[in-house]
Amino acid sequence: MSATHATPSASARETTEGTVYTVTGGDWDEVVAAASRADDERIIVNMGPQHPSTHGVLRLILEIDGETVTEARCGIGYLHTGIEKNLEFRNWTQGTTFVTRMDYLTPFYNEAAYCLGVEKLLGIEEQIPDRATVIRVMLMELNRLSSHLVAIATGGMELGATTIMIYGFRDREMILDIFELITGLRMNHAYIRPGGLAQDLPPGAVDQVRAFVKKMRKNLPEYDKLATGNPIFKARLQDVGYLDLAGCMALGVTGPILRSTGLPHDLRKTQPYCGYETYDFEVPTADTCDAYGRFLIRLEEMRQSLRIVEQCLDRLAPGPVMVEDKKIAWPAQLALGPDGLGNSLDHIKKIMGTSMEALIHHFKLVTEGFRVPPGQAYTAVESPKGELGVHVVSDGGTRPFRVHFRDPSFTNLQAVAAMCEGGQVADVIVAVASIDPVMGGVDR
């Protein structure tokens, strides 16, 4: 042993032959105290990045003392795609194909935030057709439902509540069927474009959405019956992952985590976009500051989203879905093929066979893209996980100079240490599930 680690029952003295230690018997209380100061039981555990309870490739570095977490850190970057950098090498419209893949559970929010930013730089915010805006809102709220269903389903599965998982993915499947009908794809849609939408709603879409709203209203009470009053479920979530309002404000945490502290902060109300100020809906809150409150908020937000979707269906008046300015409007004459949306062959035949000017314009717009005046803009939308913001910078060219996203999952993950340290290892899983991070948005 060294002099620096001497116990109260040992002493050391220097001699010509080196250090000599004298060890004597000590008081039992002192021996116990010395043992308790030792770090023998303190171990470092890597939870992930490949782990059934970490929501994708999230790595949690946990220092545990027995079953108690003494330190928790997040290791990210395992899903890095370089999307933000790639945007600098594609034209403005092609950017939607990249951003839709970030938080892959909320693709329409990524697309909407990006397109709102580009439209702000172009100065065409007032020229977006009403029908396009209403469809955007409808798709975003359907997307909020599908995202919350995954949050509740995967969170339940990690606790062993497999029935919730089955119910959640059963209901989400109906929403993905609607997305596939409208955009041609279940995810990675690139359907919201600068200036409007890729194309109008196909025949039968409105009827299918109405049928879904009716069915979902019938299914939602099942989650209450399964989980809300379930004593086992409540015991696992109540007082777990605690983070109060001061903690949320210090860390920049938004979304259901912030609203579980009692603050009704929702960008749809505080900084309305896409005409949200004209829709009738409530912002659910809780005052528990824990995982159980976040579960209840997500459940109630799903009910409110159904209200908004119904209002969208009632507002869908006939009209265009892309700005009239042909210098900006990406050709919206598309057709649904076996692999998703693509150019309509009839449209291609028409422009190639009847009008040289139309062909030249189509070629220039698709290959080069439109120019965006120099400047920068920040726009934000209320995604299911919190504030999703985009900072868009243009140097006057046909490609973005810089696009940076403020993804809520990235910011909210900062709360892991505050939520988990001092708690049990098993509660880490509950806390992370209540944050509902998606690594596609974190790593970008």
Say yes or no: 25 and 123 in one domain: no
Q: Would you say residue 248 lies in a domain?
A: yes
Q: Would you say residue 353 lies in a domain?
A: no
Tell which residue, 230, 243, 236, 151, has the closest CA to residue 434. 151
Percent of the chain surpassing pLDDT 90: 47
pLDDT classification of 42: cutoffs 50, 70, 90: confident
Say yes or no: 137 and 207 in one domain: yes
Record the pTM: 0.85
Q: Would you say residue 337 lies in a domain?
A: no
Average pLDDT over residues 393-400: 92
Report the domain count for the chain.
Answer: 2
**Token code pair at residue 318:** 């006939």
Say yes or no: 16 and 143 in one domain: no
Q: Would you say residue 48 lies in a domain?
A: no
Higher pLDDT, 320 or 12: 320
Q: Would you say residue 359 lies in a domain?
A: no
**Token code pair at residue 16:** 């010509």
Say yes or no: 33 and 157 in one domain: no
Q: How far is 131 from 374, CA to CA, in rounded Å?
A: 29
Q: How many CB atoms are located within 10 Å of the residue 40 CB?
A: 7
Say yes or no: 180 and 318 in one domain: yes
pLDDT tens sequence across 319-351: 888 888 877 877 656 666 666 666 677 777 777
Q: Would you say residue 29 lies in a domain?
A: yes
Q: How far is 316 from 131, CA to CA, in rounded Å?
A: 6
Say yes or no: 28 and 153 in one domain: no
Map tokens 């020229």 to a residue.
Answer: 127
* DSSP line for 195-233: TEESSPPPTTHHHHHHHHHHHHHHHHHHHIIIIIT-HHH
Q: Would you say residue 75 lies in a domain?
A: no
The confidence score (pLDDT) of residue 376 equals 94
Q: Would you say residue 49 lies in a domain?
A: no
Say yes or no: 112 and 242 in one domain: yes
Judged against a pLDDT cut of 70, whether residue 21 lies above it is answered with no
Q: What is the mean pLDDT of the chain?
A: 86
Higher pLDDT, 38 or 156: 156
Domain that holds residue 218: 92-328+370-443
